[in-house]
Amino acid sequence: MQVNLLEAKNRLSSLVAAVERGEEVLLARNGVPVAKIVPYERARVKPPGAWKGLVARSADWNSAETQAQVENLFLGDGDAPAA
């Protein structure tokens, strides 16, 4: 269904009801489609632990050497390579 903007302002409730029934509603300006009213979809949030086993990480990610490197990145040690 295509509706011009002036008509859409007067019929917004019925247009939303049409979308809820599964109809496609196009909004037009001077007969030229410019927008579409679509059903709202909630964001899909993955539950905690959904990424378990999907992301590779180094076996030494929590070693003393790695922690020292990270600390040097934040605090600086004067030996950082020039960019």
pTM of the model: 0.51
Amino acid at the residue 34: V
Indicate the length of the chain as a whole number.
Answer: 83
The confidence band for 56, taking pLDDT boundaries of 50, 70 and 90, is confident
Residue 22: predicted pLDDT: 93
Give per-residue pLDDT as tens, 59-78: 888 899 888 888 999 987 65
The confidence band for 19, taking pLDDT boundaries of 50, 70 and 90, is very high
Which whole-number Å values give the CA distances from 12 to 8, 16, 50, 61, in the listed order?
5, 6, 40, 55
Q: Whole-angstrom Cα distance, residue 80 to residue 66?
A: 15
Give per-residue pLDDT as tens, 33-48: 999 999 998 888 888 8
